[in-house]
A and B are shown apart, each in its own frame.
Chain A
Amino acid sequence: AQKVTQAQTEISVVEKEDVTLDCVYETRDTTYYLFWYKQPPSGELVFLIRRNSFDEQNEISGRYSWNFQKSTSSFNFTITASQVVDSAVYFCALLNNAGNMLTFGGGTRLMVKP
């Protein structure tokens, strides 16, 4: 069985603050894939990033960055200089090696206040 835990159910910050969303996962697979999705108030699920388990390089995309630590089974997501438009629910997800089981965490609701 595999599991994804997002311990922070809700985070509130003021615009321009940096914020980190935590994600911890459990899996028996040695090869697996990690994802972050954003769900804005409009409801759709927007893909943000995919990370393969054999690639531990951290990634930066504009104000977004991801820290993958295989040793601690964590895949944290940081938003730098947050903006009101970042307000959404963010989901971390784990895909098994066979590619047929995509498990989501419970999500973290981020509220960025002006």
Chain B
Amino acid sequence: DAGVIQSPRHEVTEMGQEVTLRCKPISGHDYLFWYRQTMMRGLELLIYFNNNVPIDDSGMPEDRFSAKMPNASFSTLKIQPSEPRDSAVYFCASSLFSDGTNTEAFFGQGTRLTVV
């Protein structure tokens, strides 16, 4: 398996523009997580899905942020409109719940977002 795949790796956009980050989890994994990493706050959980259903989005900072998982192999995180303070590295991770336990979360390489 190629692991968790995120695209793009880098994104530079102007304030006010819409940004869409993409994630392909590991095949067969039933949990998908979106994290944001900044110097100030470290790694923060934004939202997670179980079997394509959003379970907890309490970490999503504002209504400008939205996430979808239309099928088991694809998820998006959208920011509209983007602001400079959204600049961060966004990670997607997936894991499998099996035999009563979760595997470790496997992370994608991240998308470095810069909003100017």
Contact = CB atoms under 8 A, between A and B. Distances in A.
Interface of A: 33, 35, 37, 43-45, 47, 50, 52, 91, 95, 99-107
**Contact-size category for B:** 20 to 34
Interface of B: 31, 33, 42-43, 45, 48, 50, 55-56, 89, 91, 93, 95, 97, 101-110, 112
Given A33-B101, A47-B104, A106 B45 contact: no
Contacts of A104: 42-43
Contacts of B104: 33, 35, 47, 50
Given A43-B110, A95-B102, 10 more contacts: A33-B101, A44-B107, A44-B110, A45-B91, A45-B107, A47-B106, A95-B105, A99-B31, A100-B50, A102-B45
Nearest to B33: A102
22 contacts: A33-B102, A35-B105, A37-B107, A43-B109, A43-B112, A44-B107, A44-B109, A45-B107, A47-B105, A47-B107, A52-B101, A95-B105, A99-B95, A99-B101, A100-B50, A100-B56, A101-B45, A102-B33, A102-B105, A106-B42, A107-B42, A107-B43
B91 A99 contact: no
Contacts of A105: 42
A45 B50 CA distance: 21
A44 to B, nearest CB: 5
A95 B33 CA distance: 13
A100 B31 contact: yes
Given A100-B56, A104-B42, A106-B42, A43 B89 contact: yes
A18 B89 CA distance: 31
B104 to A, nearest CB: 5
A105 B43 CA distance: 8
B87 to A, nearest CB: 14
Contacts of A106: 42
